[in-house]
């Protein structure tokens, strides 16, 4: 869609995101000629009908306002905007109505884990028992303890645990794909 835009500056929102009135005002007040190639914007994530403040859910924001001549989209899973130029932060958030139910979360994570497994295989990375066991455990501890997911209550615990399941799914899919291709 970015290729169809007729202006240099693009403000990108997903279908489940809304700009706050304060963010719209902040963007409108920016001068057209910018030193910066892009702006990082924080997101307030609403997951299972609760704002998630911890659990490492986009704590630093994402680039969503950018000069299309100096930045571009990259990536297969959770695409992101990349630039070699300076990025500035805006402080008013985007509201992200992320996952409303556990079922919706699991369905999306299944799709994401398949894409991430394909990326891992394309990078010639192999399945290993260490990655299978340690990466999910480390991610749980990082989200729940280091990033204080426990402050999000049960939501933080369940999100941290659901991400363990996500990482296990990724590595099981890598293993399955490698096993199937080596047995053919």
Query: Domain residues of the chain, as ranges?
Result: 2-97, 102-183
- How far, in Å, CA of 169 to CA of 174, rounded? 9
Condensed to tens digits (0 to 9), the pLDDT of residues 65-105 reads 999 888 888 876 667 888 888 899 999 999 999 999 999 99
What mean pLDDT, rounded, does the chain reach?
A: 90
pLDDT for 72 equals 84
Higher pLDDT, 49 or 75: 49
Condensed to tens digits (0 to 9), the pLDDT of residues 132-165 reads 899 999 999 999 999 999 999 999 999 999 999 9
Band (pLDDT 50/70/90 cuts) for residue 32 is confident
pTM tops 0.85, yes or no: no
pLDDT for 4 equals 60
- How far, in Å, CA of 141 to CA of 163, rounded? 11
pLDDT for 102 equals 96
- How far, in Å, CA of 16 to CA of 9, rounded? 21
Lowest mean pLDDT, pick from 44-48, 67-71, 104-108, 170-174: 67-71
Best CA proximity match to 2, nearest among 62, 80, 76? 80
pLDDT for 184 equals 61
The average pLDDT across 33-55 equals 92
Condensed to tens digits (0 to 9), the pLDDT of residues 114-124 reads 999 999 999 98
Helix axis angle for 154-183 and 129-141, nearest 10°, is 170
pLDDT for 1 equals 55
């Amino acid at each position: 869609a970015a290729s169809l835009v007729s202006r240099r500056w693009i403000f990108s929102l997903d279908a489940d995101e809304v700009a706050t009135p304060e963010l719209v005002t902040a963007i409108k007040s920016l001068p057209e000629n910018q030193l910066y190639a892009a702006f990082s914007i924080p997101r307030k994530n609403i997951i299972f009908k609760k704002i998630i403040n911890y659990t490492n859910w986009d704590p630093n924001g994402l680039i969503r306002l950018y000069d299309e001549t100096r930045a571009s989209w990259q990536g297969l899973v959770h695409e992101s905007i990349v630039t070699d130029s300076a990025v500035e932060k805006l402080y008013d958030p985007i509201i992200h109505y992320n996952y409303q139910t556990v079922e919706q979360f699991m369905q999306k994570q299944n799709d994401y884990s398949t894409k991430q497994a394909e990326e891992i295989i394309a990078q010639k990375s192999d399945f290993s028992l260490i990655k299978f066991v340690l990466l999910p455990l480390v991610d749980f501890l990082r989200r729940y303890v280091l990033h204080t997911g426990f402050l999000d209550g049960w939501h933080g615990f369940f999100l941290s645990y659901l991400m363990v399941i996500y990482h296990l799914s990724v590595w099981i899919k890598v293993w399955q794909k490698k096993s199937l291709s080596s047995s053919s």
